[in-house]
Amino acid sequence: MRLLFLGDMVGRTGRTVVWEKLPGLIEEYGFDFVAVNGENAAGGFGITEEIYLKTIDAGADVVTTGNHVWDQREALSFCERQDRFIRPANFPDGAPGRGSGIYVARNGARVLVTNIMGRIFMSPDLDDPFMTVEKALAACPLGEQADAVVIDFHAEATSEKQCFGHFVDGRASLVVGTHTHIPTADYQILNGGTAYISDAGMCGDYDSSLGMDKEEPINRFVSKIPKGRFEAATGPATLCGVAVEISDRTGLAETIQPLRIGPRLEESLPVF
Ligand SMILES: [Fe+2]
Ligand SMILES: [Fe+2]
C-alpha cells in the first residue's frame, strides 16, 4: 500500500495548501492512506473542529496532533466524537479523546495509527513514550491485528526520535517525527524494515520562524521583551511530508521518499 504523511499544518496558509493539493496527490499517486498532523492548523495554535472536518474532506484518513492539541479549547470536546482525531497517547489516564486508532485504508488494509510525544525538552511529566508504544503495539501487533502501523512521534530531540525509531524497528511500518517543523534528510528504512524520518517538516510558510511570523520571535531572542503575540506567517506555503510504500505481505516499508511542493524548498516528488 501507499501511504502519505504530511507534517504539521501551520496557520491558514498551511492548511489551505493541504486542502488544495491533497485530492490531486491522492489521485496522481494512488495513496491508500493519508495522515496529516494538524496541531498548528488554527493560527499556529491547535485545531478547530471545522478545520479538522475540512482536512478529512480533502482526503486525510486521520489527523494527528502534539503538544498544541488543546490550544483551541473546543478540541477537548470534539475529540470525543471525531474518531479520526488523535491526540498524544501518553497523556495521563482520563485525558479526553484517543491516542490511537485502527482505520481501514482504501485498499482494505487495517492501519494502526498512534501519536506519541517525546519528553526531552518538552513535557517531562508525560508517560514514558517507550512504554506507551510498547502497550499500543502489544494491543495491535503488526501482522496480526494491523496490516500497517504508523507512529507520529512528536518530539524535539533528534536523539530521542532516533532511539524511538530503533526501539520499534521491525514492529511498525513508519515512524515519522513531527514538531520541529523542519524537514530532515535522514529518511531511511531501518534494519528491521521500519521507515523512519526524524522530522517530516511542516506544511506552512518557510519564510518564517517555524511557520510563525518571524518579527516577534526575532524580537524575543534579541530584546528578551515580548512586544506582541506570535502570529502565523501568511506567505505561500510549502507542503512537506513523506510517501511510503508498505509491503502488503509484511506490513514493513519498501521505500520512503520525501515530498516537498512549494515556493521555498527544493521540490521533491515521489517516484513509485
Ligand atoms: Fe507543530
Ligand atoms: Fe508540536
Flag whether 56 is in a domain: yes
**How far is CA 178 from each of CA 55, 87, 216, rounded to the nearest angstrom?**
18, 13, 23
Q: State the distance from the centre of ligand 2 to the C-alpha of 108, rounded, in angstroms.
A: 31
Q: What is the pLDDT of residue 50?
A: 98
* Residue 267, in any domain of the structure: no
38 pLDDT band (50/70/90 cuts)? Answer: very high
Count the neighbouring beta carbons within 10 Å of the beta carbon of residue 248.
13
Q: How far is the CA of 107 from the centre of ligand 2 (A)?
A: 31
Query: Got the DSSP string for 168-199?
Result: HTTT-SEEEEESS-S--S--EE-TTS-EEES-
Q: What is the reported pLDDT for 11?
A: 98
Give tens-digit pLDDT for 119-170.
999 999 999 999 999 999 999 999 999 999 999 999 999 999 999 999 999 9
Chain centre distance of CA 169: 18
Is 231 part of any domain?
yes
Q: Is 270 a domain residue?
A: no
- pLDDT value, residue 24: 98
Mean pLDDT of 171-183: 98
When pLDDT is averaged across residues 187-201 and rounded to a whole number, the result is: 98
Residue numbers annotated as active site: 68
pLDDT tens-digit series, residues 213-240: 999 999 999 999 999 999 999 999 999 9
Residue 108 to residue 105: CA distance in whole angstroms:
5
pLDDT of residue 97: 98
**Band of pLDDT at residue 62, cut at 50, 70 and 90:** very high
Q: Does the residue 266 lie in any domain?
A: no
pLDDT value at position 162? 98
Residue 21 phi, psi dihedral angles, 5° rounding: -95, -25
Ligand 1 centre to CA of 212 (Å) is: 11
Alpha-carbon gap, residue 40 to 211, rounded angstroms:
9
User: Alpha-carbon distance 36 to 169, whole Å?
Assistant: 22
Distance between Cα 244 and ligand 2 center (Å): 22
- Count how many domains the chain has: 1
For residues 86-110, average pLDDT:
98
Position 170 scores a pLDDT of: 98
Q: Tell whether 12 is covered by a domain.
A: yes
Residue 212 lies in a domain: yes
Residue 217, number of CB atoms within 10 A of its CB: 14
For residue 138, the tally of other CB atoms under 10 A from its CB is: 9
268 part of a folded domain:
no
CATH number at residue 165: 3.60.21.10
Tell me what pLDDT residue 116 has.
98
88: containing domain: 2-261
Residue-level pLDDT at 232: 98
What residues have a C-beta under 5 A from ligand 1, the ion? 8, 39-40
